[in-house]
Structure 1
Amino acid sequence: MIRFLLKAIFLITLVGFILQEVDAYFIKDSFYRDSIRTFQSSDRNFDIVFFGSSHSYSTFNPAVIENELNVTAINLGSSAQKLIATQVVADMVLKKNRPDLAVINVFALSFNEEKNEGFTSSNLLAIDFLPQSFSKSSFILNTFPANEWPMAFSETIRNHTEWPESKKPSKTFNYNNDHNHYKGFLTSNSTFDDGTFLKFEKKYKAQNKRFDTLPDIAKKRIDDIADLFKNNNVPVLFINAPSYVYDVSPSHNSYAKSIKSYLTEKGHNFLEFNEVKEEIGITRRHYRNPNHLNTRGAILASTYLSAYIKDSLHIPLTKTPINLSGNPYYQSNPKNNSLFYKDLDSVTEKKLFGITDAKLYKTGEETYNVLFSLSADTIGSQPFRLEHEVTLEELNQYGEQKIFQNRNKTKIVYYGDFSNIDVLTYQNKSFVVFSFKSPLKQFRNLSFHAGDKRGTTVFSIDTLSVK
């Protein structure tokens, strides 16, 4: 009998190990993988950690928080993340990290645990990239029905029908060109049209159920996660991100008021952004859709939150020395060091619709920002290209990364277009940023061209070596 049990344990362990190795080929990739990887691989303690759904990762930009407060920050929000799943993410964080502050975004959908496909997929996304733990296993066993346990534990079992098309994802997530991202923060510069708003308004106006008190399940979820952080001596700030839903939906508005009432009753810190969004200056141009802020809106919200943490919470922050060289808002200061810097003369500035200087920064292992300061908060509409020479051997280093080449395959070329929608303003300075990805450690004849028909050379560098 003992021998049989030992064989069974060995077999189960072996199968589990094999599935864990193979699972990497069957995951449904998400930028959230990068968020968890950034957290897990860091040898630094994160001073402020954000939790929640897309409302969190579209609103609270660690780059702004770091630059404003001189702290390390990360956003661990995932799409439609429920508070019951946030508990598992928080448990992972607290096993490795004791932040000075946890910021948790909560709103009606944080507590929607109706058993449907959306609930299942959001929970799987929230836990798939987390390391195996007792908390994660308990969550699966208590949240999913028994017949779904195998697929919840293993992406291979869940997505095996996609073989042989499935393949292991790239080392880092492949972001779209219009994505602005930094340590778990993700949004774009886009805005929405009248048609989009009318559909949004019609959908949410129809939801007319009112909430005089918070449902018991919501109270329990709040109490559970508050206790988890309290037991680990970590202060919590609950927060509700800006959204047009509170302007059009009596149901969501009453639910938000119920959340505020319960958190206040329990003595928790709570910031309702929808009560101060006009004071902050958040308008329609600061949303990528009626439910989520764009990059400009996130700058305003994150700057306000930084001041609120500093002036109202009175929480001691570690403020250990940090490297901000990859932070685009730190980069916007012309006094800060860059790989390359060039002041433009007045003639070139006029040709480029107000670009006054160009700076090149390394922002990650294989990522770079070219940041252009502007004389005003407009840039017109102009195409651009960045290019550099490559050998065949260097070309092979790009692997499956999508790239453009000249006809002779002697250059790699990145194309794009700047418009007024790309202009960001921070600390009264306006700028635009172009980001690109390259595995190379040395660039030859690196040049940037913009303006009419990409005819103006902004800068040209013979050789640039990077670490």
Structure 2
Amino acid sequence: MYKANTLIKRIFKVAVILILGFWIPLKVLNFALVDDVRSYTRVMLHEMYTQEENIDVLFIGSSHCYRTLNPELIDKIWSKNTFNGGTSSQCLDGSYAILNEVAKNNDLETVYLEMFYTQMGGVYSDRTQLTLTYIICDYLKPSINKYSYMLSAVPKENYIESFILARRNWKRIFEKGYMNNLIEKKLSEEYKSYQYIDNGVEEYLGKGYVANYNSIEGGYISDGIFSPTRALSEDDIKYIKKIKALCDKKGIKLVLFSAPMPDFRLCAAENYDSYVNELNQLASDLDFEYYDFNLCKSEFLSLAETDFYDDQHLNNLGADKFSRSFAKFFMENNYSACLYESYAEKVNHMEDIPLGVIVSKEEAELKFETVIPREMTLCYEAQVETENDVRLYKGDGGNFSIPIDLDKNNKINIALYYGENNQSLCTKYVYEVGGK
């Protein structure tokens, strides 16, 4: 018996030595190689874990969640403690993992799950961009929830990078100054105390909300064609059902919603109503609520270009407007007065104005396509400025091409005329391209 106990103690000591001999070097390498100095998720999850007050309401979803809903504003209207658990490009398995984590330690009343259409339709096992997973699992506390998420969300060939964070950046060991600079930042009081250092454009304002202070000036103009909507994949539906089951088990109300985006983007996608219809049907089948705030009537919420900082995200001004409207919407329960039945119905109530311009490059020319809510007559002027000359192109219509030398810096001032005799109204855009 004595020998058996002695053997067990020796085995235990050896195991501890091996674990510490592996774990401590890994922690050192992670500290020196993994650059998370500007990670919103690191700060957000730390704040979530250290909340002293019970979280009553949780918002989860993609960047359209954490850049759109400001809990500080909503708390005052609802007299609840709300928290935003959104992360960049968060898919539904990530939403499920964060919900699981919050529900373990809080008596949640309601969960609002944000649904961004381009995040849907994928096969999770086919992922190649794993940052969306790492930014969540890297900062979840060790638990069955964390490791089950990691094992299901990451392909087997990436397991090493998932568990050994430094493996992702191992090539930078030999990059001059990289580790010294990173270690210096991580030894700062801001990093150690989980204070996010704003960069003058964006700022972490607490409880998961990130404010952006840029705004669209001079109309929407974008490179490339926007992705059309896709049907929900089996993985999407699987995790919506898992989220619903968890909410039912815990007695939590589940509400799905889509955050407002510019009509420029939605009209360019062309088939947005197919997405709205599919989610409405799923909501009916699974007995939860879904509201799409891209269907807002202008009397309820009117957003201008200056309320967005790009062609899909609200800036701080727009998020302030929407957060207040969102809170009011769920307090008053007067849904029909606030939302159209479909996006097509909303389009029918839009003004006849250009919504924006999509630009594509083809060899020695640029192609411009104007996004409009319905057929309308347009004419254009495009002034191309280079270092040496200025050229002017004119024509009828909103779709046109102009020759361009991409080796030179080009500033293109576009004016689209419409209205009575195509002269009464004008929308202007600026596009810069080229140069070495």
Q: Which residue of 2 aligns with 1:316?
A: none
Shift of 1:55: 0.3
Is the 8 Å Cα contact of residues 89 and 127 (structure 1) preserved in structure 2? no
Shift of 1:246: 2.1
Shift of 1:59: 0.7
Residue by residue over 1:128-166, the C-alpha shift from the partner in whole angstroms, topping out at 9 and shown as x without a partner, is 111111111112222223332121023223323334344
Q: Distance in 2 between matches of 1:67 and 1:250?
A: 38
Pick closer, same or farther for the CA change 1:7–1:258 going to 2, 3 Å.
farther
- Tell me which amino acid in the other structure corresponds to 1:226: K
Pick closer, same or farther for the CA change 1:160–1:214 going to 2, 3 Å.
closer
Pick closer, same or farther for the CA change 1:58–1:253 going to 2, 3 Å.
farther
Q: Which residue of 1 aligns with 2:47?
A: 38
Is the 8 Å Cα contact of residues 49 and 74 (structure 1) preserved in structure 2? yes
- Choose the corresponding residue for 2:215, options 191, 200, 225: 191
1:285 maps to 2:312 = no
Q: Which residue of 1 aligns with 2:250?
A: 232
- Tell me which amino acid in the other structure corresponds to 1:246: L
Q: Which residue of 2 aligns with 1:366?
A: none
Q: Which residue of 2 aligns with 1:70?
A: 79
Q: Distance in 2 between matches of 1:285 and 1:50?
A: 25
- SS of residue matched to 2:252: coil
- Choose the corresponding residue for 1:152, options 157, 162, 166: 162
Shift of 1:265: 2.7
- SS of residue matched to 1:280: coil
Q: Which residue of 1 aligns with 2:62?
A: 53
Q: Which residue of 2 aligns with 1:85?
A: 94
- Tell me which amino acid in the other structure corresponds to 1:290: D
Q: Which residue of 1 aligns with 2:225?
A: 203
Q: Distance in 2 between matches of 1:11 and 1:148?
A: 27
Residue by residue over 1:255-285, the C-alpha shift from the partner in whole angstroms, topping out at 9 and shown as x without a partner, is 2432232123322122210111633112222
Q: Distance in 1 between matches of 2:315 and 2:106?
A: 29
1:133 maps to 2:128 = no
- SS of residue matched to 1:270: strand
Q: Distance in 2 between matches of 1:49 and 1:250?
A: 32
Q: Which residue of 2 aligns with 1:182?
A: 206
Pick closer, same or farther for the CA change 1:55–1:25 going to 2, 3 Å.
same
Pick closer, same or farther for the CA change 1:68–1:136 going to 2, 3 Å.
same
- SS of residue matched to 1:174: coil
Q: Distance in 2 between matches of 1:28 and 1:239?
A: 33
- Choose the corresponding residue for 2:16, options 10, 13, 24: 10
Pick closer, same or farther for the CA change 1:9–1:232 going to 2, 3 Å.
farther
Q: Distance in 2 between matches of 1:177 and 1:121?
A: 24
Shift of 1:306: 1.0
Pick closer, same or farther for the CA change 1:25–1:184 going to 2, 3 Å.
farther
- SS of residue matched to 1:271: strand
Q: Distance in 2 between matches of 1:262 and 1:294?
A: 31
TM-score by length of 2: 0.64
Pick closer, same or farther for the CA change 1:156–1:61 going to 2, 3 Å.
same
More deviation, 7-16/181-190:
7-16
Is the 8 Å Cα contact of residues 137 and 149 (structure 2) preserved in structure 1? no
Pick closer, same or farther for the CA change 1:284–1:264 going to 2, 3 Å.
farther
Is the 8 Å Cα contact of residues 123 and 233 (structure 2) preserved in structure 1? no
- Tell me which amino acid in the other structure corresponds to 1:146: K
Q: Which residue of 1 aligns with 2:349?
A: none
- Choose the corresponding residue for 2:238, options 211, 220, 223: 220
Shift of 1:77: 0.8
Shift of 1:21: 6.1
Q: Which residue of 1 aligns with 2:35?
A: 28
- SS of residue matched to 2:118: helix
Q: Which residue of 1 aligns with 2:325?
A: 304
- SS of residue matched to 1:199: strand
Pick closer, same or farther for the CA change 1:277–1:183 going to 2, 3 Å.
farther
Q: Distance in 1 between matches of 2:80 and 2:100?
A: 22
Moved over 6 A (4+): 1-5
Pick closer, same or farther for the CA change 1:90–1:21 going to 2, 3 Å.
farther
- Tell me which amino acid in the other structure corresponds to 1:174: I
Paired residue total: 306
Give the gaps of 5 or more residues in structure 1.
Answer: 314-467
Is the 8 Å Cα contact of residues 133 and 154 (structure 2) preserved in structure 1? no
- Tell me which amino acid in the other structure corresponds to 1:311: E
Pick closer, same or farther for the CA change 1:178–1:229 going to 2, 3 Å.
same
- Greater C-alpha radius of gyration: 2
Identity of aligned residues (%): 20
Q: Distance in 2 between matches of 1:109 and 1:128?
A: 24
Q: Which residue of 2 aligns with 1:258?
A: 278
Shift of 1:110: 3.2
TM-score by length of 1: 0.60
- Tell me which amino acid in the other structure corresponds to 1:67: K
Give the gaps of 5 or more residues in structure 2.
Answer: 174-178, 335-436
Is the 8 Å Cα contact of residues 70 and 323 (structure 2) preserved in structure 1? yes
Q: Distance in 1 between matches of 2:211 and 2:276?
A: 24
More deviation, 259-268/35-44:
259-268
- Choose the corresponding residue for 1:271, options 269, 291, 296: 291
- Tell me which amino acid in the other structure corresponds to 2:26: L
Q: Distance in 2 between matches of 1:190 and 1:101?
A: 32
Q: CA RMSD, aligned part only?
A: 2.7
Shift of 1:76: 1.3
